[in-house]
């Protein structure tokens, strides 16, 4: 089979204006084209569409997965394949995805435009820069950082304590050397020396704000509420006190507009926002999701990494903030992934191994129970079929899940596109036709922050206890005293395990969740809880994907996936 990029480059794409007009009823004046095959939707059109009375909402379908493994699961690919499958059975559907980050594109994970016959295109443009949203978010974030140091240089009227400036800088690329840096060196003309550091753009609070704001006005208000640090008498200082939020909004004026592209089969996709789920809230923008719900019968979205991170945050942060009512969830699993969870190496996961499958199926059962019972969303299991899967192993998986009361649907969308996902589409349609409902939140808004963390740890991760560092305990007390106790929490931890140890596979229970620090994202409206050794600035692997990416003399990109 050709590579992903070869399949994408061979595709015949519809002009984006035709797709918007003929498939979605979007008038030409509401489309801001970026070339022939991608566009942004005008914000005034979006605001009218999503306003109360602007139309009838379709059904919201969440795609989540087992814990991620090197062997592969295929969550984004399944989202795209399902949309193609729904359209094949004449149910109007639109994909709502996150934008790829250049960190994974050039690092270990690769791009985020799907794979095989289930992709969104143009692949190269989506994976590389796209319509400039990540760049705008990084610039807005770093503008605030520059204005903080400029304020200190020119008199520090707010009396900022240089030891307690909490606003770090960001980079769009993974670069471990930037995790902790010293700035302001070289004399008085270069500012005051202090310790600083970089996060990746996907972890920026500005990214979260863009993904949770419902209008330009709300965007500006949220940016103004960003906490940048403390004064020497420990008063919190916000971005609006530097008068930075207006200029930041100007940089983000276009970034808040949803991006429209298409699948390989010519079906619409909104790709907007890109927070990671292990260190951020892992969902595409609320404004894109609401737009999709007004444009189609089905809006199919995804939440990053496994359901313990992505689906929990989708419910407790995004659904809570946006009043969303999911109608169904798809939990993606692969035999390879389950066998890896059963303890074998990734390079052996393609070979039959009944014992490893029996051990690993507990991971799927845990996620399934969490989504159905703890989060309250009707679910179907999608077995993303790989070419080397055997009928005997698939039958064994079905036997393991007997009595769960959930459908297990094989899907071959990677190899066959929408045609391979028709059975999945029919089951999702059946589930979702019952209508959306308010999901179950893991914790109530008024629950203290420490108890919220314990609720997620015990109910979703099956931890026996939570251990707070001295720093975290002090931060909890201060955040509660400052009035942030009612905010949702966004747990940042390894995505590879229910624990904080990435090597602890399967469905462990009885462990301890180690909380080392907390950060308030007042503009986004949640508190980030840093657990274990999780990093907000990834590094590149031993052999980064960048080594295999190239451009020929005619400008054709190769090696991108």
Q: Under a CB-based contact definition with an 8 Å cutoff, are residues 111 and 560 in contact?
A: yes
User: Residue 318 gets which letter from DSSP?
Assistant: I
Buried (b) or exposed (e) across 2-34, using 16+ Cβ within 10 A?
eebbebbbebebbebbebbeebbebeeebbbeb
Establish whether 339 is a catalytic residue: no
Question: Which listed residue (75, 168, 257, 372) is catalytic?
Answer: 75
Question: Which listed residue (239, 277, 307, 457) is catalytic?
Answer: 277
| C-alpha 509, offset from chain centre | 26
Strand partners, 527: 489, 520
Q: How far apart are CA 90 and CA 314, in angstroms?
A: 28
| C-alpha 74, offset from chain centre | 14
User: Residue 548 gets which letter from DSSP?
Assistant: G
Please report, in angstroms and rounded to a whole number, the separation of the first and last CA atoms in the chain.
14
Spatial neighbors of 345 by CB under 8 A, at least 6 apart, are none
Compute how many other C-beta atoms are within 10 angstroms of the C-beta atom of residue 158: 16
Q: How far apart are CA 166 and CA 215, in angstroms?
A: 27
Question: Which listed residue (305, 441, 468, 526) is catalytic?
Answer: 305
Q: Work out whether the CA dihedral 209, 211, 214, 217 comes out positive or negative.
A: positive
What stretch of H or E contains 94? strand 93-97
Question: Which listed residue (23, 40, 91, 98) is catalytic?
Answer: 98
Establish whether 167 is a catalytic residue: no
Establish whether 276 is a catalytic residue: no
Question: Which listed residue (167, 198, 298, 386) is catalytic?
Answer: 386
Establish whether 134 is a catalytic residue: no
Question: Which listed residue (37, 106, 314, 414) is catalytic?
Answer: 414
Establish whether 305 is a catalytic residue: yes
Question: Which listed residue (64, 76, 77, 289) is catalytic?
Answer: 77
Paired tokens of 537: 């600035």
Which of the residues are catalytic? 75, 77, 98, 109, 277, 305, 386, 414
């Amino acid at each position: 089979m050709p590579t992903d990029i070869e399949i994408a480059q061979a595709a015949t794409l519809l002009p984006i204006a035709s797709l918007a007009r003929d498939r979605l009823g979007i008038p030409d004046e509401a489309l801001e084209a970026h070339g022939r095959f991608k566009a942004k939707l005008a914000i005034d059109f979006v605001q009218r569409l999503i306003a109360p009375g602007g139309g009838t909402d379709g059904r919201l379908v969440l795609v989540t997965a087992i814990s991620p493994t090197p062997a592969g699961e295929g969550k984004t690919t399944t989202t795209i394949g399902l949309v193609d499958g729904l359209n094949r059975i004449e149910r109007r559907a639109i994909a709502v995805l996150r934008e790829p980050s250049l960190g994974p594109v050039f690092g270990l994970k690769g791009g985020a435009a799907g794979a095989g016959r289930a992709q969104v295109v143009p692949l190269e443009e989506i994976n590389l820069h796209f319509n400039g949203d990540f760049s705008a978010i990084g610039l807005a974030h770093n503008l605030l950082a520059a204005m903080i140091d400029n304020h200190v240089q020119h008199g520090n009227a707010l009396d900022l304590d240089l030891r307690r400036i909490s606003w770090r800088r960001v980079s769009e690329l993974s670069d471990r050397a930037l995790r902790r840096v010293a700035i302001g060196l070289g004399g008085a003309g270069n500012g005051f020396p202090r310790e600083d550091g970089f996060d990746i753009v996907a972890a920026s609070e500005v990214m979260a704000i863009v993904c949770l704001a419902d209008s330009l006005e709300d965007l500006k208000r949220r940016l103004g509420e960003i906490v940048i640090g403390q004064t020497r008498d420990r008063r919190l200082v916000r971005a609006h006190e530097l008068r930075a939020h207006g200029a930041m909004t100007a940089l983000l004026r276009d970034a808040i507009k949803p991006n429209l592209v298409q699948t390989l089969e010519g079906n619409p996709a909104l790709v907007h926002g890109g927070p990671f789920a292990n260190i951020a809230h892992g969902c595409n923008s609320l404004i894109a999701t609401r737009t999709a719900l007004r444009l189609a019968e089905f809006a199919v979205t995804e939440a990053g990494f496994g359901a313990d991170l992505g689906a929990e945050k989708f419910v407790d942060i995004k659904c809570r903030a946006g009043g969303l009512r999911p109608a169904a969830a798809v939990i993606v699993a692969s035999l390879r992934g389950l066998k890896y969870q059963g303890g074998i190496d990734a390079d052996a996961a393609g070979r039959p191994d009944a014992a490893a499958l029996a051990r690993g199926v507990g991971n799927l059962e845990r996620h399934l129970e969490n989504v159905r019972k703890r989060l309250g969303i009707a679910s179907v299991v999608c077995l993303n079929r790989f070419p080397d899967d055997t009928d005997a192993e698939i039958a064994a998986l079905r036997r393991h899940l007997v009595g769960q009361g959930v459908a297990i649907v094989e899907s071959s969308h990677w190899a066959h596109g929408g045609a391979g996902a028709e059975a999945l589409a029919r089951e999702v349609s059946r589930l979702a036709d019952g209508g959306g409902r308010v999901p179950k939140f893991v914790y109530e808004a008024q629950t203290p922050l420490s108890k919220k963390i314990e609720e997620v740890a015990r109910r979703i991760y099956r931890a026996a206890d939570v251990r707070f560092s001295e720093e975290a305990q002090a931060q909890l007390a201060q955040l509660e005293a400052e009035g942030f106790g009612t905010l949702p929490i966004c747990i940042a931890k390894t995505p590879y395990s229910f624990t904080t140890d990435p090597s602890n596979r399967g469905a462990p229970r009885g462990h301890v969740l180690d909380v080392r620090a907390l950060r308030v994202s007042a503009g986004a409206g949640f508190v980030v809880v840093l657990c274990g050794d999780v990093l907000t600035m990834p590094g590149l692997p031993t052999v980064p994907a960048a080594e295999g990416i190239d451009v020929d003399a005619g400008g054709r990109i190769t090696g991108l996936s």
